[in-house]
Structure 1
């Protein structure tokens, strides 16, 4: 089995699925790499399609080509980014013996939520999430769907009862965002908060109120 070069403490698995909101996943990857985290990225086929529709970035199909394209796009990650194929069962994230400390699915489709909630493990994203749950590591799901059906809510509730963080892509507006990028940063900042990774993407609530009062 392939071994990661970093300890579990600074390894985070990141999965992009086919939900709208590719910018959330891109920005989160950028911030994780900037923080020096080793990222193990898995990208679904649908996510590649959505990424090309919603951004100017078109990724090659093969994992190594995808990694090189992302490293070039972001200007970092040559030593800390790993990309695995959807059926690459030899990836470290597929085994509980080499699980990362946390996993984030951002953005997360309702289909992926259902698969994780029912433990189907039909691809590497689902298997990695299953490993994260069984090894009692941190799992954060960022669903981007509206409205939620009863099926969606029941699946999300089931996962929340397991201790999984359900963090919908719902940006706040108290910091008076002026751009789409600021809305994206709000959600990414909340993910980083739950991963306990320092950032300066958005003002903290008390700091924002204090600065307005001064």
Structure 2
């Protein structure tokens, strides 16, 4: 399986990095596009050299390299995730503006009807953000903000990150074992008036 992974410069790069780590452990072929700001954010938020993170991917491409394989629909992939997805990237995709490889690869997924998961990391959201998300959802993208789940009672930040990354991978049919499936609370939990 081939998966394209985009990391934009938004806060929350820990999610994209963890996805690369897990994909590598599972033997998933990853093709990474990390923007310049993503590299800076990796170093700032995680204290890791960006080169260490890009080395986690099977292949890594410069955002200006529009001649790379992931720029073409003939390069077969399971799809793409942009994690995190900045509002700049989201807005460009919503407008069909593909000036760099990250937006071009995502646009290819849309046109080829491949799975595209966008994980916008911004709050609060204004009307333009919301309209861009709706427009992309209507075009076939899965809009999946990195919102933590608490039903599995996470104890650490790693638990929160792993749960979300596992849910993202589910959209590509990749079972990661990073979280336990919801089993319900049982009928005794319901207190109806």
Structure 1 segments, 4+ long, off by >2 Å, are 69-72
- SS, match of residue 98 in structure 1: coil
Partner of 1:141, secondary structure, is strand
Size of the aligned set, in residue pairs, is 187
State how 1:52-201 maps to structure 2 within 5 Å: 52-59=43-50, 66=51, 69-70=52-53, 81-201=58-178
Please give the TM-score of this superposition, normalised by the length of structure 2.
Answer: 0.91
Pairing of 1:2-21 with structure 2 (within 5 A) = 10-21=1-12
One of 19, 31, 34 as aligned partner of 2:25:
34
Contact between 1:99 and 1:132, CA under 8 Å: does it hold in 2?
A: no
Distance (Å, rounded) in 1 between the aligned partners of 2:185 and 2:177: 16
Runs of 5+ unmatched residues, structure 2: none
CA spacing shift, 1:190–1:35, aligned 2, 3 Å: same
Q: Distance in 2 between matches of 1:121 and 1:202?
A: 35
- Give me the TM-score of the superposition, normalised by structure 1: 0.83
Q: Does the 8 Å contact 1:93/1:128 carry over to 2?
A: yes
CA distance in 2, matches of 1:55, 1:84: 21
1:149-172 Cα distance to aligned partner (Å, 9 max, x none): 100000000011112100100011
CA RMSD of aligned residues (A): 1.7
The alpha carbon displacement at 1:119 in A equals 1.1
CA distance in 2, matches of 1:187, 1:33: 17
**Which structure: greater helix fraction?**
1
**Distance in structure 2 (CA, Å) of the matches to 1:138 and 1:197:** 13
Q: Could you tell me how far apart the structure 2 residues matched to 1:53 and 1:40 are?
A: 23
Check whether the contact 1:99–1:131 (CA below 8 A) recurs between aligned residues: no
SS at match of 1:205: coil
1:4 equivalent in structure 2: none
Q: 1:90-117 CA deviation, whole Å, 9 max, x = no partner?
A: 2111111214221000000011001011
Structure 2 residue aligned with 1:6: none
